[in-house]
Amino acid sequence: MHATVVLQREGDVGQVIIDNPPVNALSLAVREQLLQRLQEALADSAIQAIVIACQGRTFVAGADLKAFDLPLQAPHLPDVLAAIEQASKPVVAALHGSAFGGGLELALACHYRVAAPDAQFALPEVSLGLIPGAGGTQRLPRLCGAQVALAMVLGGERIGAAQALSIGLLDRLSDASVLACATHFAREVMDKPIPRACDRSVPEFDPQVFHERAQALLRKTPGQEAPAIALQALQDAWQLPFAEGIARERERFIARRHSEQARALRHVFFAERDLASRCRALARQAPTRPIDLVAVVGAGTMGSGIALCLANAGFATRLIDTQPEALARGRATIDRYFSSVVEKGRLDTDEAARRATLIEFDSSIEGVARADLVIEAVFEDLAVKQAVFRQLDRFAKPGAILATNTSYLDIDAIAAVTTRSGDVIGMHFFSPAHVMKLLEVVRTSQVQADVLATVLQLGERLGKTAVAVGNCYGFVGNRLLAVREREASFLLEEGATPEDVDRVIRQFGFPMGPFELRDLAGVDIAWRNRQGRAEQLSAAERSCNWIEQLHEAGRLGQKTAAGFYRYEDGQRRGLPDPYVARMLVAHRQSRGLEPRVIDDEEILDRCLFAMIHEAANLLEQGIVDSPNDIDLVWIHGYGFPRYRGGLLYHADRVGLSRIVEGLSRWTALRPERGLRVSALLQSMAAQGCSFIRPFLSGS
Ligand code: NAD
């Protein structure tokens, strides 16, 4: 589709209209034509003022990310915006939809801004590893003050039109047509002196408050380079003259554009878009079933969270638990949640009440009768789940989708007890279910195409990143988690400590390490899991029995204030525990394992390479459709640092031959583990392949 920018005359006002579907991104063609149309309007003596507006559903929603891996091409956006700002006739931006990134920077370079009431404003560059590169860090603080600029540039805050008007970002809100309103406004101001952001100085502000807020925002983005650099750029706005500030911003932007983190974040952005478009394609192929009423069976941690998630998305929900006390606990959790969001000002009282009334409570499984979708979230036990599914088969209406939230169990075995296995599917939410973005949608061998399409689409309506995965032990996320925990456990046998492993994993960018996570989730959960899978564990895994030892000692993790760490006075941060140190020594001695010093590089590589190895198995077995899906599962469900692009993106950066070499070396060190390096991985390494096909320009 060709971008066009046209100049049309409305009496003495020149209207420059950008038309570059779908979101009017600032491509090279748009920049070139925008500049030309501006020059034509300036040269036309019949035109006294200029309005810049967009066709379609939004004003310019940002730069053209697809071009970011290509060389920079003139005219550069800052030069186009400088020409707008320096124009001798007043220029008014007519804004609607999402004026984000370069779109907002374009608006800031105009002399006035008029917006439709639904317009939204944001500078999301930092979330892409960048900083605003076309004056955003210099013009925004001059127009709206340092604190607003800080919240938008570092905090990624998105603001609506009413707020934008109150902070001086806008000059007027339009009523009907924003183009007509902006044109009218342009006539009102055409004889007035032209106000330019570059001529203003940053309004006075309290530097101490600014500093404290900036530090608080930086703490929220550990490991990321862009926020600190964006802060430096913002500070230039009051420490340097405008021209110098703009030049420094540009240098910083160009350096960021080529940085590893920005590349990785662009990759994730495109991977997410790719996932969404595959999901839409699937929905086009198969008709979806209507979902109005959802029943959730089991009102525990997950069931209550899932009910909240559904109500927040506007679904009528029936939460069912056969234990009256459990149902009462679920109700209390839900009430507490709605009170707290009102207290925090996230919802007004009426809206919270409206959502709360969407959830009904029921103590009988027969309550599923009218539901279009049933999500089961009872105990993680195959027999218990099968008993529930027999009842669902009996009471649910024909055509209802029957989903299970199991974390590990075989969903084919659950579906098999029903007479409608094609309607059964996995919906694996993460805890807390109303917060976590990931939803693994687990295909069973007999699932109907419309059931899969319906659930994937529902995931989108719930605001989740819904990834379709195959049915296997732990699906994608927990299967890789189990592998990382196993490798971390072997590292303890060989000489590492839980503190070493957790520190290294945290330094890589995860919110916590495997042993901290185990203490949080519960040693008893892992113990039950190992008991249930005793036959599948290798001899080496059975022998590496930290979980059994801790379980026997009653050290179940945070809930008993002791696990791999000890916890004092309800603190969530664990302390190293001499008990565990003694346990490690005795265990190694009893197995004749000579401890060695294991450096941080080996710890990190072993944890990640083991996961990469398992990811290759997942691909080979067709559990996922794309390597990107593995990356998205771990970014959205397990805290894999987004700025590192994902597990398999990381694998490609490291190089598959180095990974195969490492795996082979460590396997030789512990032959009793019996690991055979994946043939797929070996052949990919030998052929110089990579996992990820880059989403380069045009893809
Ligand atoms: P939970 O113990 O907090 O809640 C289970 C609830 O199910 C209890 O309230 C119980 O009364 C109810 N229940 C049991 N049998 C029932 C029946 N026959 N009919 C109706 N209700 C019944 O457990 P949870 O942590 O919420 O986990 C539920 C499921 O979600 C499990 O399959 C678990 O593996 C999975 N899961 C848990 C997490 C997590 O972090 N907790 C994360 C993802 C998935």
377 touches ligand 1 (CB under 6 Å): yes
What separation in Å is there between the alpha carbon of 326 and the centre of ligand 1?
A: 10
In a domain, 555, yes or no: yes
With respect to residue 280, please indicate whether it lies within any of the assigned structural domains: no
- C-beta neighbour count of 535 within 10 angstroms: 6
- Ligand 1 near 378 CB (within 6 A): yes
Q: What distance in Å separates the CA atoms of residue 26 and residue 344, rounded to the nearest whole number?
A: 38
State yes or no: is 431 an active-site residue: no
If asked whether residues 201 and 335 sit together in one domain, one would say: no
Nearest to 474 by CA among 520, 424, 430: 430
Would you say residue 324 lies in a domain? yes
- Tell me which residue has its CA closest to atom 15 in ligand 1: 378
302 alpha carbon to ligand 1 midpoint, in Å? Answer: 6
639: helix, strand or coil = coil
**Between the CA of residue 365 and those of 303, 317, 321, 575, 591, what are the distances in Å?**
14, 14, 8, 44, 51
Q: Could you confirm whether 620 is annotated as catalytic?
A: no
Beta-carbon contacts of 43 under 8 Å, excluding residues fewer than 6 positions away, are none
The 3-class SS string of 67-107 reads: HHHCCCCCCCHHHHHHHHHCCCCCEEEEECCEEECHHHHHH
Same domain (yes/no): 465, 482:
no
Q: Which of 126, 50, 33, 119 minimizes the C-alpha distance to 84?
A: 50
Q: Which of 302, 309, 436 to mutate to test ligand 1, by most ligand atoms within 8 A of the CB atom?
A: 302
d(CA 178, CA 344) in angstroms, rounded, equals 34
pLDDT tens string 491-524:
999 999 999 999 999 999 999 999 999 999 999 9
State the DSSP code for 26: B
* Contact 442 CB / ligand 1 (< 6 Å): no
127, 407, 471, 678: which one is catalytic?
407
Who contacts 340 (Cβ-Cβ below 8 Å, separation ≥6)? none
| CA of residue 372 relative to chain centroid, distance | 29
| Domain carrying residue 360 | 289-471
What is the DSSP code (8-state) at residue 4?
A: E
Distance from C-alpha of 99 to C-alpha of 493, rounded to nearest angstrom:
55
Counting every residue, how long is the chain? Answer: 699
Question: DSSP class of residue 175?
Answer: S
E-strand stretches of 503-638: none
Which of 111, 428, 551, 650 is an active site residue? 428
pLDDT at 699: 34
pLDDT, one tens digit per residue, over 532-547 is 899 999 999 999 999 9
Q: Is 404 in the pocket of ligand 1 (CB under 6 A)?
A: no
Domain final residue, candidates 435, 450, 471: 471
Domain-located, residue 261: no
Atom of ligand 1 nearest to the CA of 388: 18
pLDDT on residue 694: 58
Give the CATH number for residue 504: 1.10.1040.50
Beta-sheet strand order (sheet of 49-54) = 4-10, 13-19, 49-54, 91-95, 112-115, 172-173
Domain CATH number, residue 26: 3.90.226.10
Domain check: are 501 and 379 in the same one? no
Evaluate: CB of 363 within 6 angstroms of ligand 1.
Answer: no
Same domain membership, residue 235 and residue 149: yes
Ramachandran area for residue 676 (φ above 0: left; ψ -120 to 50: alpha; else beta):
beta
Q: How far is the CA of 392 from the centre of ligand 1 (A)?
A: 16
Which residue reads 């124009």 in tokens? 87
Q: Is there a single domain that holds both residue 126 and residue 229?
A: yes
User: How far, in Å, CA of 390 to CA of 378, rounded?
Assistant: 14
Q: Return the structure tokens found at 177.
A: 């047509």
Tokens representing residue 59 in the block: 């004003």
**Listed residues 196, 228, 254: the one ending a domain:** 254
pLDDT reported for residue 695: 52
Cβ–ligand 1 contact at 411 (below 6 Å): no
What does the alpha-carbon distance between residue 493 and residue 474 come to, in Å, rounded to a whole number?
25
Cis peptide before 287 (omega within 30 of 0): no
Which residue is listed with tokens 């456990």?
A: 489
**pLDDT for the residue 463:** 96
For residue 380, how far is its CA from the centre of ligand 1 (angstroms)? 7
Q: What's the total number of domains in the chain?
A: 3
Q: Which of 323, 327, 378 to mutate to test the pocket of ligand 1 (most atoms within 8 A of CB)?
A: 378
457 C-alpha to ligand 1 centroid (Å): 24
Judge if the beta carbon of residue 296 lies within 6 A of ligand 1. Answer: no
Measure 558 CA to ligand 1 centroid, in angstroms: 20
- Same domain (yes/no): 138, 13: yes
252-282 burial: b if 16+ Cβ within 10 Å, else e: bbeebbebebbbbbbbbbbbbebbeebbeeb
Do 607 and 514 touch, CB atoms closer than 8 A?
yes
Alpha helices in 7-76 (DSSP H): 28-43
498 shares its domain with 530: yes
Residue 425 per-residue DSSP state: E
Question: 85, 440, 602, 614: which one is catalytic?
Answer: 440
The CB of 407 under 6 Å from ligand 1? The reply is yes
Say if residue 486 is in the same domain as residue 426. Answer: no
Calculate how far, in angstroms, residue 25's C-alpha sits from the geometric centre of ligand 1: 46
Atom in ligand 1 nearest the alpha carbon of residue 304: 26
What is the predicted pLDDT for the residue at 222? 95
Residue 657 known to be catalytic? no
Instruction: Report the residue among 318, 404, 407 best suited for mutation to probe ligand 1: largest number of ligand atoms under 8 A from its CB.
Output: 407
DSSP structural state of residue 357: H
State yes or no: is 478 an active-site residue: yes
Residue where a domain terminates, one of 440, 471, 502? 471
Contact 256, 232 (CB under 8 A): no
Give the Å distance between the CA of 298 and the centre of ligand 1: 6
Spans of the chain below 50 pLDDT: 696-699
Whether 67 maps to a domain, the answer reads yes
Atom of ligand 1 nearest to the CA of 326: 9
Four-point Cα dihedral 629, 635, 638, 640, nearest 10: 120
Is residue 421 domain-resident?
yes
Terminal CA-to-CA distance of the chain, rounded, Å?
A: 14
Asked if residue 35 belongs to a domain, the reply is yes
Q: Are residues 307 and 244 in the same domain?
A: no
295 Cβ closer than 6 Å to some ligand 1 atom: no
CB of 301 closer than 6 angstroms to any ligand 1 atom = yes
Query: ∠217-221-226 over CA atoms, to 5°?
Result: 95
CA distance 185 to 311: 43
| Same domain membership, residue 120 and residue 42 | yes
Residue 678 lies in a domain: yes
Is the pTM for the entire model greater than 0.75? yes
pLDDT of residue 671: 86
Say what the pLDDT of residue 285 is.
86
Residues 373 and 482 placed together within one structural domain of the fold: no
CATH number, position 317? 3.40.50.720
Hey, how many other C-beta atoms are within 10 angstroms of the C-beta on 243? 11
603 and 488 within one domain: yes
Alpha-carbon gap, residue 144 to 167, rounded angstroms: 6
